[in-house]
Amino acid sequence: MSVHKCSRRTAPLAGCAAALLLAVTACGSGGTGGGGDGALTVWVDATRMEAAKLYQASHPDVKMNIVSYDGNANGSNYLQTKVQLFNRTRKGWPDVVFSSQNNEATWAVDAGFAAPLDKGLIPQPTLAKFAKGANDVCTVDGTLYCLRNDLSQVVLWYNAPLLRKFGYSVPTTWEEYQALGEKVAKEHPGYLVGDAGDSFTPEIYLWASKCGANQITGPKSVSVNTTGEGCTKMARLLDVLVKNKSMSISGVFSTDFAKNEADKVLLMPGPAWFGGAVFRDGLKTPAKQIAAAPLPQWRGETSPSTGNVGGGTWLLSKHSDRTEEAADFLTWVTTDNAYQGTKAPGFPAYAPAAENWLKAQAAAGYFVGDLTPLKDASAQVWPGWGAGQFSQEAIWAATVKPGLTQGKTVESMLPAWQDAIVKYAEADGYQVTR
């Protein structure tokens, strides 16, 4: 009798508790804001927080919900993970989002997240003023799905006073660069002409050498050939300099690089954002030391070709119910001088803002000389390397970097690298030609 009573009483209790739990979990999963709560939800990384706050300050009438996340740094895939979940719960998508990855459009279009921007959202005259090729990574099947925040063309950064002190001149060809590395190893052991320890290494060096490891030939097709001449000659150069230790394999973002090698950098090929993010903020190199030169080219070539190492993108959600406000924010954050022209840490993708940014950098006086090589390099990105859905950086980090640490040569690992790219590309549904 009493048991019967109990079960009658507990059944609704259990039901209530279960309903409550479900309600709580439902709230938890969709609680990151997004369309419908009356505010423009913007997701940014720590660096872009300033941009969002600046917009809010100059547009007090726009109700904003600024959310800080990791910006998908280091291929964290946070955004992709969240979008997949929001797609399931059918709510929660941010209206505008910044990502430090260049290949977001490739999955965001498939996932039905990214809104087309060149079909009336952003006026054509504005789009026309982005640097040539800047928005290529945002274009899927001829439609534009994101706006580039900054360009990441590679230049040869160097420590001007140190180079002068050692009596060296800036190399203009890769052959000269290698010769200088061999000289540095002998005459000033411990000093560095570059770093091959980051996951960006293939994009800084092998892309610049026109290595055909990653040619996206269609929406779902890629050509992978890591053993062509462009790849092997740069691999051999890296091997020589890694072996004589004039090139580090620590990685500029590692703790040991910052501790042991920060003041040993004589030269360093690296993208535009290295200037602020690595030298000024990361390695704390004092002002009036770092200068930029054009990236070397192979002897016989007419101009350098560079890689496109990162550079963030801004996406607008297809699910946004505040499209106009979102488009206004997107336009402002990528083009307005108040942020891009003066405060942005990287080289703006929007050409008029880039002009202003170069002037602002000159006025700030951190770099030696002007940064014109950056402007020239922005038109020298080799188009034979694309932004696919699979992360080239992650593949290099997992397949080549450990071998490098164990003392294997890059050249010997080129076939293994190719094998890994092919497998990851195929797993993501790409047709691969070798």
Partner 1 sequence: MTRPRLPANASRLSTGASRQSRAGVAFVAGYVVLLIAFGVLPTGYAVYYAFTDAGGAFTGFGNFVDTARDFRFVDALGHVALYLVFWLVSLVVFVVALALLLHRLASGPLSRTLRFLYYIPGALAGAASVLVWLFMLDPTVSPVSSLLEVLGFDTFGEVIAPGNLALLFTVIAFWTGAGGWIVVMYGALNNIPRDVMEAARIDGASAWQTAWRVQIPMLRKWIVYMVILAFAGGAQLFVEPQLLSLASVGVAGRDYSLNQLTYDFAFQMNDVNGAAAVSVELLVVSVSVAGVFVARSGFFDAD
Residue with Cβ nearer partner 1 (233 or 264): 264
Instruction: Give least dist CB 267 to partner 1, A.
Output: 22
Q: CB–CB of 399/237 below 8 Å?
A: no
- Which residue is associated with the tokens 């964290």? 76
Residue 362 burial class via C-beta count within 10 angstroms: exposed 0-12, middle 13-18, buried 19 and up: middle
Instruction: Give least dist CB 329 to partner 1, A.
Output: 27
Q: Which of 60, 61, 142, 255 binds partner 1 (CB under 8 A)?
A: 255
Q: CB–CB of 143/119 below 8 Å?
A: yes
Window 3 to 32, contacts with partner 1 (CB under 8 A)? 3, 6-7, 10, 13-14, 17-18, 21-22
Q: Which of 23, 179, 364, 427 binds partner 1 (CB under 8 A)?
A: 427
Q: Is 412 in the site for partner 1 (CB under 8 A)?
A: no
Instruction: Give least dist CB 246 to partner 1, A.
Output: 17
Residue with Cβ nearer partner 1 (44 or 425): 425
Residue with Cβ nearer partner 1 (5 or 119): 5
DSSP-assigned states of every residue in 88-156: HHT----SEEEES-S-HHHHHHHTT-BPPSTTTTS-HHHHHTBPTTTTGGGEETTEE-EEE-EE-BEEE
Distance CA 298, CA 304 (A): 8
Closest by CA position to 381, among listed 302, 303, 320: 303
Closest by CA position to 396, among listed 407, 410, 412: 410
Q: Which of 397, 413, 414, 425 binds partner 1 (CB under 8 A)?
A: 397
Instruction: Give least dist CB 78 to partner 1, A.
Output: 9
Q: Is 197 in the site for partner 1 (CB under 8 A)?
A: yes
Window 362 to 391, contacts with partner 1 (CB under 8 A)? 391
Q: Which of 45, 150, 198, 203 binds partner 1 (CB under 8 A)?
A: 198
Residue with Cβ nearer partner 1 (173 or 254): 254
Q: Which of 111, 179, 287, 364 binds partner 1 (CB under 8 A)?
A: 111
Instruction: Give least dist CB 97 to partner 1, A.
Output: 16
Distance CA 192, CA 205 (A): 15
Residue with Cβ nearer partner 1 (10 or 68): 10
Distance CA 266, CA 272 (A): 17
Instruction: Give least dist CB 70 to partner 1, A.
Output: 9
Instruction: Give least dist CB 336 to partner 1, A.
Output: 32
CA dihedral for 161, 150, 129, 269, sign (positive or negative): positive
Instruction: Give least dist CB 378 to partner 1, A.
Output: 26
Distance CA 419, CA 433 (A): 12
Q: Is 139 in the site for partner 1 (CB under 8 A)?
A: no
Residue 315 token pair? 């996406």
Q: Give the chain's end-to-end CA distance (angstroms, integer).
A: 77
Instruction: Give least dist CB 199 to partner 1, A.
Output: 5
Q: Is 433 in the site for partner 1 (CB under 8 A)?
A: no
Beta bridge partners of 158: 267, 291
The interface region with partner 1, picked from 76-84, 162-170, 261-269, 360-368 by CB under 8 A, is 76-84
Instruction: Give least dist CB 47 to partner 1, A.
Output: 17
Residue with Cβ nearer partner 1 (372 or 405): 405
Q: Is 57 in the site for partner 1 (CB under 8 A)?
A: no
Beta bridge partners of 42: 66, 96
- Which residue is associated with the tokens 């003392």? 407
Q: What share of the chain is helix, strand, coil (3-state, %, to 5)?
A: 45, 15, 40
The site that binds partner 1 (CB under 8 A) totals a number of residues, namely: 48
CA count, 13 A, side-chain hemisphere, 396: 22
User: Which residues of the shown chain bind partner 1 in the complex (CB under 8 A)?
Assistant: 1-3, 6-7, 10, 13-14, 17-18, 21-22, 74-77, 80-81, 84, 107, 110-111, 197-199, 249-251, 253-256, 259-260, 391, 393-394, 396-398, 401-402, 405-406, 423, 426-428
